[in-house]
Structure 1
Amino acid sequence: MSYPPDPNNPYHQQPPQQPQQPPQPPPGYGYPQQAPQAAGYGYPQQAPPAAGYGYPQQQQAYGYQPMPGTIQANNGYINIAQLGPVKIASMGQRFVARLIDGLAVGAVIALVMALGLAGSLGIVKDTDDCSQYSYGTVSYDDCLQQQTDAATGLVATMMIMIGVLALFNLLYEWLMVSFVGATLGKMAMGLRVVKESNGQTPGLGGGFIRFIIPIVGAFLCYIGALLVYLSPFFDNSGKLQGWHDRAAGTVVIKK
């Protein structure tokens, strides 16, 4: 049976066949599509180092800020508020600084003692001048009394000089550490004494406590003072704090 030709398709061309899509497998079969990685799966992001590990530069790069006073592991650094990670001064550096201070203070003491002694000896006369047979306006007894007074004055002068020099030593160590954070020796070695809690200079109270503890120990034949200066070796925290540093809440750092 024939049909009239289609005016829209005079050549009887077959319409193009639409490709058939293969049936999609139900969920759970075949290879699943790559799903976005959930939190905790795949390669984890690099986490910041734990407290106390790594170098301070790496810790800052990761944004890690340790607590004030936290000692950094195995690298000699300590975190100080307002200062960040700073290096702890070694015992060798502190010894050289103390040696420089001793030479500086000793030179001043020697100069003052020499000048005072020379001036005091100038007023003391030889006892031969008080001869019993000498003639003059001063009798022999008056001459001896003058010599005794001069010797007493010499002793008093020496005691005053010792007191003045002790006061100078007190003011030198106390005031410079309190307000500057360093003596001349520490300045020469690039060291500084700061409060562990805030990184500031110790102040009058902290500086005095730090100074007076070795002085009190010196009354025991100086053995106590020696133990105080060696006490940083006994500090197992890694901060090299001596007993005077712990009492004052200070730490010695390298600038």
Structure 2
Amino acid sequence: MNYASWPQRVGASLIDAIPIWILIGIGMAVDGPGSDGGPGLIYFLFTLLALAFALYNRSYLGGQGASIGKKALGLKLVDEQTGQPLGFGKAFVRDICHFVDAIICYIGFLFPLWDAKRQTIADKIIKTLVVKG
């Protein structure tokens, strides 16, 4: 298989993050801290919208084979054993498993630099691959 390189994976993640940053930024610009110092209602709603987008993009679209970022860079997220898209549930659990990549000083996200299949720890746990195609 033709595995995605680490720079391609990072690029896809950055593209996926842009709409989230924009939504949260709009919320902050329109409704910064409330009178009590906490976030205002508009900011909270834009944050919920950003979370909904992330869920749709990474779990739903990712589960069908490619998030917006992966699609833009010609990458696919597939099951290691079948080579087929994961489906919503497995893609969602994969994102939760990225917590393991992060908790060890983010080293898990660097695994694709030296791993033969260019997998993160979350990919190894869920048995997924990011491939070109």
The verdict on how the C-alpha distance between 1:168 and 1:191 changes in structure 2, with shifts beyond 3 A counting, is same
* Distance apart, 1:167 and its partner CA: 2.7
Tell me: higher relative CO, structure 1 or 2? Use CA pairs within 8 A at least 6 residues apart: 2
Residue 54 of structure 2 corresponds to residue 174 of structure 1: no
* Runs (4+) off by over 4 Å: none
Q: Matched residues in 2 for 1:228 and 1:110: separation?
A: 28
Structure with greater proportional helix content: 2
* Distance apart, 1:111 and its partner CA: 1.8
Select the residue among 101, 107, 120 that pairs with 2:16.
101
CA contact (8 A) 1:175 1:204 kept: yes
Fraction of identical pairs, as percent:
33
CA contact (8 A) 1:232 1:243 kept: no
Residue 113 of structure 2 corresponds to residue 228 of structure 1: no
CA contact (8 A) 1:89 1:191 kept: yes
Equivalent runs, 1:48-67 vs 2, <5 Å: none
Q: How many equivalent pairs are there? A: 132
* Distance apart, 1:189 and its partner CA: 0.4
Partner letter of residue 188 of structure 1? A
Aligned to 1:114: 29
Q: Matched residues in 1 for 2:26 and 2:109: separation?
A: 27
Q: Matched residues in 1 for 2:39 and 2:18: separation?
A: 26
Residue 67 of structure 2 corresponds to residue 183 of structure 1: yes
* Distance apart, 1:152 and its partner CA: 3.6
* Distance apart, 1:210 and its partner CA: 1.4
Partner letter of residue 202 of structure 1? L
For structure 1, list consecutive stretches of 5 or more residues without a partner in the other structure: 1-77, 79-86, 122-150
Equivalent runs, 1:1-255 vs 2, <5 Å: 78=1, 87-117=2-32, 151-152=35-36, 155=39, 157=41, 160-161=44-45, 164=48, 167-168=51-52, 170-171=54-55, 172-178=57-63, 180-215=64-99, 218=102, 220=103, 224=105, 226-235=106-115, 238-255=116-133
Rg (Cα) greater in structure? 1
CA contact (8 A) 1:195 1:249 kept: yes
Aligned to 1:232, the other structure's residue is in SS state helix
Partner letter of residue 198 of structure 1? T
CA contact (8 A) 1:113 1:161 kept: no
Aligned to 1:88, the other structure's residue is in SS state coil
